Chain A
Amino acid sequence: MKKICIILLSAALLITMFTACSTPPASGKASQDSKPPAQSSAAPSAPSSAEPHASSSQASPSQGADIELPTTGIGASISTNLKANEKYTIACIVKNSTNPYMVGCLNGVQKAAEDMGFEAVLMAPSTNDSVEEQVKIMEDLIQKGVDGFVLVPVDTNGIMPGVRKAMEQNIPIATIGTPAAVDTFLRTGVDYTETGRLVGKAVAEKIGGKGEVIILEGPPGAQNAQERLAGIKESFEEFPDIKIVASQTANFKRTEGMQVTENLLQKHKSVSAIIGCNDEMAIGAIQAIKAAGLEGKVTVGGFDGNQDGSSAIYDGSLYISYNTDPFGSSYLAAVYIAQFLNDGTEPPQYFIPFPSEVDKPLITAENVVEYMADIAWWN
């Protein structure tokens, strides 16, 4: 007994040593890997926010504009003239059934099914954000014989066993937000860099191209958050008089957004604008601004166009947000799949950013009433 204890304990020591020493070389190795790095699966996502993706480099700002989509409109007003030739079964598998973004995705495929005349199977793991269960659902549905998948994978690499099985059977897969580790039939959802660029530019113009700006970042590990941040910074390059005085993470959470802003406002009282990398953090910032008595003096920008964000735009406390539109994205994905099943039409490129600049995704006081009535994906 004692001997076993000693052996095991020394094994434990070894493991600790190895893991402790492994961190620097591991990251060095990762860059040599041909495949994209594993994405965060643990980070709980605020609506639309923790949707990391690996290959943003493929998307350039002009790409979205050149493509003629098989749909018109965005959000709840999206529509298509295409019909399904047969009663295909298209499955939509999302990360969980509680996040409004995920529910938006499911509803988008459902709407496409009603408009086009195919059958939608809407699934989510019973344990939130379980990639293992997503793989199981894919396997089960392949057995059942579905014709296409619209996927919001929990994890780029973890979903691969399911993706491979579907590709062996030539079942088209469209991913939204998080891509799979290989190029599937289609990838859609927003281009995060573009979202950052558009909102950053709008906020910069609103404050007259000069002044101090605070940015509330997403979780440090999440790639979508990094891309959005890069987009914001890129947009400020045109405005040399704008100075980013602080850029800190608030993990996509409202309470953290409030706390971080409270702290930063102590130091930077003359700040002209705050950009939260999602609506939740932006709303947190608004609460802190109100508490500091700076109401009306600070322009706030956010992303997602979620329910509370839209209300904040309506009452004037939030200046702008970006409609990340899970409803429209999954609708578009389902339409592409049905079109492919009809006549073999492939999408013009692997990654089709949606909604992109041409789809007019920005929400401000001018269009918020219309947005809330006709477009919002959470309705």
Chain B
Amino acid sequence: MNANVQAVKTPLGPRLRALPPVVWMLVVLALVFSITTPQYFALANLRNILVQSSALMILAFAQTLIVLTQGTDLSLGAQASLVTVLWVSLAKAGINIYLAATLSVCATVIVGMCNGLLVSKGKIPPFIATFGMQNVVSSIALLTTAGSSIYFSHYIFQFVTETRFLFVPLPVWIAALMFALTWLLLYRTKFGVNIFGLGGNPEALVLAGVNTVKSYVKVYAYAGFLAGICGLITACRVESGQPVVGMGWEFEAVAATLLGGTSLREGRGGISGTIAGVLLLTVLRNGLNVSGISAMYQNAIIGVIVMLAIVIDAMVRRVRGD
């Protein structure tokens, strides 16, 4: 009996300490904001934060996978914008709205596959390949609507953002679902093992007889799929197609990934930390907005805190010796 208790108890201490530092920073920040603004800890505000983070959350999962393969996908934000525009314009052209959503997500999956081919077959560094793709994709998005935003009236947009299931809004559930899916893929399939392999030691993968081209294409295509889902949620959030809405999100996703403890160098890290990273960014932005701090200061404050978090993370790791 005693031994049993012991067995349950011992892992708890190290487990708490093994939490990435970003979680602690998140707690500290939430405390600070709750002191400065009384309305901060209201249930409505927590819900607000979760809804606001859901789109970036999904995009950050995608980015985490790419970072795990030692790449960065700079086209993710543009892909999300493209989906908002495609979805609305297809629906406007008279296609069933669900079919239109599926088709637009297919489009970003194809974009992702092209990224994967460029990186693996073309041997172009991911940074360059996806940067090129970012420009192409955002041009397509702009051309689809001749540069303006596009609007279509359908109940689905409001339905997604305003429905609550067990007090939690639908976009948050979708993000949770994507987390579960990505987690399963990453830790329970060969595909996941290969992702870690691509980041850690690609040569070993080749020697082991794994087709790395296929693996790259798959992981970029899956990232495209997630960017597509992110785009669908975003379209619901703004009830229209916006060709530049996702501009810069790819970098926020990289920041969230790094905050979550995923390393840019070797295939180390995981998507659970990314959740904390995204929440940190959203909590910061929300807290600064609620405190009424102007955008010109916001970016500087967020930049400093992100850097601090990453430095603290690195220091903690060094002290721990891993």
A interface vs B, CB < 8 Å?
Answer: 1, 5, 8-9, 11-12, 14-15, 18-19, 21-22, 25-26, 29-30, 33-35, 37-43, 91, 97, 121-127, 129-132, 135-137, 139-141, 143-145, 155-158, 160-161, 219, 221
Question: Is B125 in contact with chain A by the CB < 8 A criterion?
Answer: no
Stretch of B23-31, B183-191, B236-244 contacting A (4+ beta carbons < 8 Å): B236-244
CA–CA, A25 to B289, complex, Å?
A: 42
Docked-complex contact B294 and A131, CB < 8 angstroms: no
Question: Is B150 in contact with chain A by the CB < 8 A criterion?
Answer: yes
10 shortest A-B CB distances, which residue pairs? A22-B93, A140-B289, A38-B151, A40-B148, A121-B292, A158-B238, A11-B106, A157-B151, A38-B149, A157-B240
Docked-complex contact A26 and B147, CB < 8 angstroms: no
Chain B residues within 8 Å of chain A by Cβ, number? 57
Docked-complex contact A140 and B89, CB < 8 angstroms: no
Q: B98-113 interface mask toward A, CB cutoff 8 Å, 1 = contact, 0 = none?
A: 0000011011011001
B interface vs A, CB < 8 Å?
Answer: 37, 39, 42, 44-45, 48, 52, 86, 89-90, 92-95, 103-104, 106-107, 109-110, 113, 142, 144, 146-151, 153, 158, 161, 214, 217, 234, 237-245, 247-248, 285-286, 289-290, 292, 294-296, 298-299, 302
CB distance from B30 to the nearest CB of A (A): 14
CA–CA, A29 to B302, complex, Å?
A: 44
Docked-complex contact A131 and B238, CB < 8 angstroms: yes
CA–CA, A346 to B227, complex, Å?
A: 45
Docked-complex contact A136 and B294, CB < 8 angstroms: no
Docked-complex contact B294 and A140, CB < 8 angstroms: no
Option from B44, B48, B144, B298 in Cβ contact (under 8 Å) with A19: B144
Docked-complex contact B290 and A143, CB < 8 angstroms: yes
Docked-complex contact B290 and A144, CB < 8 angstroms: yes
Docked-complex contact A42 and B151, CB < 8 angstroms: no
Interface-centre pick from A15, A30, A121 (highest chain B CB count, 10 A): A15
Docked-complex contact B146 and A221, CB < 8 angstroms: yes
Chain B residue numbers with a CB within 8 Å of A91 are: 292
> Given A137-B289, A144-B37, A157-B240, does the pair A221, B148 have CB atoms closer than 8 Å?
yes
Docked-complex contact A41 and B242, CB < 8 angstroms: yes
CA–CA, A219 to B107, complex, Å?
A: 29
Chain A residue numbers with a CB within 8 Å of B217 are: 1
CA–CA, A221 to B292, complex, Å?
A: 34
Docked-complex contact A18 and B242, CB < 8 angstroms: no
Docked-complex contact A97 and B295, CB < 8 angstroms: yes
Docked-complex contact B295 and A124, CB < 8 angstroms: yes
Identity of the chain B residue whose Cβ is nearest the Cβ of A14 in the assembled complex: B103
7 new A-B contacts at CB < 8 Å, known A19-B144, A123-B295, A144-B292: A19-B86, A19-B89, A38-B241, A122-B294, A124-B294, A132-B237, A139-B48
CA–CA, A1 to B106, complex, Å?
A: 15
Docked-complex contact B90 and A143, CB < 8 angstroms: no
CA–CA, A158 to B147, complex, Å?
A: 15
Chain B residue numbers with a CB within 8 Å of A140 are: 48, 286, 289-290
> Given A5-B113, A41-B149, A139-B48, does the pair A161, B89 have CB atoms closer than 8 Å?
no
Docked-complex contact A25 and B153, CB < 8 angstroms: no
CB distance from A349 to the nearest CB of B (A): 26
Option from A5, A8, A39, A136 in Cβ contact (under 8 Å) with B148: A39
Chain B residue numbers with a CB within 8 Å of A34 are: 153
Chain B residue numbers with a CB within 8 Å of A38 are: 148-151, 240-241
Docked-complex contact A22 and B90, CB < 8 angstroms: yes
Chain A residue numbers with a CB within 8 Å of B148 are: 38-43, 221
Docked-complex contact A15 and B149, CB < 8 angstroms: no
Identity of the chain B residue whose Cβ is nearest the Cβ of A106 in the assembled complex: B294
CB distance from B154 to the nearest CB of A (A): 12
A-B contact pairs, 28 of them (CB 8 A): A15-B90, A22-B90, A22-B92, A22-B94, A26-B92, A30-B92, A38-B240, A41-B243, A42-B148, A43-B147, A121-B292, A122-B292, A123-B292, A124-B294, A124-B295, A126-B298, A126-B299, A127-B247, A127-B248, A131-B149, A131-B242, A131-B245, A132-B245, A136-B52, A144-B290, A157-B240, A158-B242, A160-B239
Docked-complex contact B103 and A39, CB < 8 angstroms: no
Docked-complex contact B110 and A9, CB < 8 angstroms: yes
Docked-complex contact B294 and A11, CB < 8 angstroms: no
Docked-complex contact B149 and A155, CB < 8 angstroms: yes
Chain A residue numbers with a CB within 8 Å of B103 are: 11, 14-15, 18
Identity of the chain A residue whose Cβ is nearest the Cβ of B109 in the assembled complex: A8
CA–CA, A22 to B147, complex, Å?
A: 16
Chain A residue numbers with a CB within 8 Å of B299 are: 126
Identity of the chain B residue whose Cβ is nearest the Cβ of A146 in the assembled complex: B292
CB distance from B277 to the nearest CB of A (A): 18
Docked-complex contact B149 and A157, CB < 8 angstroms: yes
CB distance from A253 to the nearest CB of B (A): 14
CA–CA, A89 to B270, complex, Å?
A: 43
Chain A residue numbers with a CB within 8 Å of B234 are: 132
Chain B residue numbers with a CB within 8 Å of A126 are: 285, 295, 298-299, 302
CB distance from A252 to the nearest CB of B (A): 13
Chain B residue numbers with a CB within 8 Å of A1 are: 214, 217
Docked-complex contact A15 and B289, CB < 8 angstroms: no
Chain B residue numbers with a CB within 8 Å of A43 are: 147-148
Docked-complex contact A42 and B289, CB < 8 angstroms: no
Chain B residue numbers with a CB within 8 Å of A143 are: 39, 42, 44-45, 48, 290
